[in-house]
Amino acid sequence: MNKISDKVWILISFVTAIVLWQLISMSEAGVVFASPVEVIEKCIKKIADGTLWLHISYSLFRVIAGFSLAFIASIPVAFLMGWYRPVRGLIEPWIQFVRNIPPLAYIPLIIVGVGVDERSKVTVIFIASFLVLVVTIYQGVRSVDATLIKAAKILGASDRDIFFKVVMPASTPFILVGTRLGLSAALTTLVAAELTGASKGLGMMIQTASGNYDMGTVLLGIIIIGIIGMAMEKFVRFLERRLTGWQETHVQ
Amino acid sequence: MAGDSCTVKVKIDHVKKVFNVRGNEVVALNGVDLEIKENEFVCVVGPSGCGKSTLLNIIAGLDVPSSGNVLLDGNPIDGPGTERGVVFQQYALFPWLTVEKNIAFGLKLRGMKREDVQKETAKYLDIVGLSSFAKSYPKELSGGMKQRVAIARAYAVNPEVLLMDEPFGALDAQTRTQLQSELLQTWEREQKTCFFITHDVEEAIILAQRVVIMSARPGRIKEIVEVNIPYPRTQETKMSQEFLELKNYIWGQVYEEYLAVRK
């Protein structure tokens, strides 16, 4: 069994899934589960009329915009929280408070607050990924080995050197873990964000198709979101290998 | 021979350190006086919690005494400085830097020119015998090799005083013996004042000119024992009558303190 490579296992798993899916679609559950062929047909049709790419690009734009803004904002906040106790004391309780509220709950507030255009979707995704990023990076800043800071001081490092040459690189693994979790949170929130009256986007495509009982399109949307998620994960893993290969063990 | 100079390099003057642990005052050091001469090798032994590391941190400038003073060349110590190098038990290598970049860390902070940094780094890599590991990351090294890098990093900035906090404590016996003789060779060649903490009495005697025995908490100096065994000391030194007598005596003194801690 060990002679079979991982790639072969993935292939076997994939083929099995398709077969199972086909079987389910041929059973009574077929009312809900469109067959693989049907989904592929929908896919080809939507590629042909250009709508699929339009939905994907809108969704991707929202995820990337919301996440990028969150990333830029979270780094200084997380470092300040890790570095200065008053900042931590002032901010941490609110982060913990908001973190546990599902985005669906505060979407009405955001719609009223910023309107139904792109800004509301980006804002929801921003909030969701910002919270995850801040919490993770802040943990990283706090867990920087104090001996390393001592060692740097002994070698003549100023506070500035300590920040850029010790705390930043030591926190990089956590920034990357935060990125992975933050992107995942962004994607998870996407569908919720697109409920705020979007006309385009994968979440909206699923919503509309669901209203029309077009389960082929619903499944197509779900699969595409899954693929985007996996691609993002792969990308971050790649960055982790490149940037934090020095670690004794990878942070999970 | 090393350590003949009589100039006082580090003067520890009535150093007291009190920690506040959950509202309770814990006296870690209770009036420590010690003069370390230039180029002298001093080892400190004592039971865990006798304040050895606290004393080292104070000399390093990483900690401040509650009262008393530490003078370096007659000037009070105010924070860390590159004239004092520290080697930690946990190596404290920057895991994201290669071996050579770890050694170069302090040199670059000084704004040394790139070719000089390279030259100095190569020199100390050679001294610790790790030239072929220049591009390796710390995770790829054994404990002994990591500590060699840490020693090279401390030496590279050319400190006058080397402070070592149980540097070989985490190593296996064989590696420890190896690093002890390497350290002695380097010390005899490079002439530095060494303040070396250990819990290993044999290690203290083989390295030091004077062994400082500290008493259990609150930490004080119990006794200072002169080791008049000439350098270079080798593994055979450990078989000599003189060595064994010193070992028995110092071990007895440390054991008394160890029992005091357990009470």
ipTM of the complex: 0.86
In chain B, where the domains are located: 1-83+159-236, 95-158
Q: What's residue B213's pLDDT?
A: 94
Q: How much is the pTM?
A: 0.80
Say if residue A200's pLDDT is above 50: yes
State how far the Cα of B101 lies from the Cα of B87, in Å rounded to an integer: 17
Greater model confidence, B201 or A198: B201
Residue A247, chain B, CB below 8 Å: the answer is: yes
> Using the beta-carbon criterion (under 8 Å), do B84 and A154 form an inter-chain contact?
yes
pLDDT band (50, 70, 90) for residue A1 = low
Give, for B30, the enclosing helix (H) or strand (E): strand B24-37
Residue A242, chain B, CB below 8 Å: the answer is: no
The CA distance from A97 to the nearest CA of chain B, in Å, is: 29
pLDDT band (50, 70, 90) for residue A30 = confident
Within 10 angstroms of residue B234's Cβ, the number of other Cβ atoms is 11
- Considering only CB atoms, A150 lies closest to which of B62, B97, B157, namely B62
Optimal mutation site among B94, B103, B110, B141, interface A, most CBs of chain A within 10 A? B94
- Considering only CB atoms, A246 lies closest to which of B81, B90, B96, namely B96
State how far the Cα of A165 lies from the Cα of A163, in Å rounded to an integer: 6
> Using the beta-carbon criterion (under 8 Å), do A150 and B86 form an inter-chain contact?
yes
Taking the domain B1-83+159-236, which CATH number applies?
A: 3.40.50.300
Mean per-residue pLDDT for B198-213? 94
Say if residue B42's pLDDT is above 90: yes
Residue B153, chain A, CB below 8 Å: the answer is: yes
> Using the beta-carbon criterion (under 8 Å), do A145 and B92 form an inter-chain contact?
yes
- Unique residue bearing structure tokens 């949170």: A185
pLDDT band (50, 70, 90) for residue B58 = very high
Give the single-character DSSP code of B219: B
Mind listing the pLDDT tens digit for each residue in A129-138? 999 999 999 9
State how far the Cα of A212 lies from the Cα of A119, in Å rounded to an integer: 28
The CA distance from B106 to the nearest CA of chain A, in Å, is: 5
Say if residue B2's pLDDT is above 50: no
- Considering only CB atoms, A246 lies closest to which of B80, B86, B139, namely B139
> Using the beta-carbon criterion (under 8 Å), do B106 and A247 form an inter-chain contact?
no
B97: chain A residues, CB-CB within 8 Å: 246
Say if residue A127's pLDDT is above 90: yes
> Using the beta-carbon criterion (under 8 Å), do A165 and B82 form an inter-chain contact?
no
Q: What's residue A251's pLDDT?
A: 44
Tokens of residue A63, six digits: 């995820």
Residue A146, chain B, CB below 8 Å: the answer is: no
Residue B122, chain A, CB below 8 Å: the answer is: no
Please, what is the Cα angle at A56 between A51 and A233, to 5 degrees? 155
A145 to chain B: nearest residue by CA?
B92
Give the single-character DSSP code of A28: G
Residue A161, chain B, CB below 8 Å: the answer is: yes
A160: chain B residues, CB-CB within 8 Å: none
- Considering only CB atoms, A155 lies closest to which of B88, B109, B137, namely B109
Phi/psi for B118 (5° steps) reads -60, -40
State how far the Cα of B145 lies from the Cα of B94, in Å rounded to an integer: 14
A240: chain B residues, CB-CB within 8 Å: none
Q: Is B3 left (phi over 0), alpha (psi -120 to 50) or beta?
A: left
A158 to chain B: nearest residue by CA?
B109
Say if residue B139's pLDDT is above 70: yes
Cα four-point dihedral sign A233, A239, A243, A246: positive
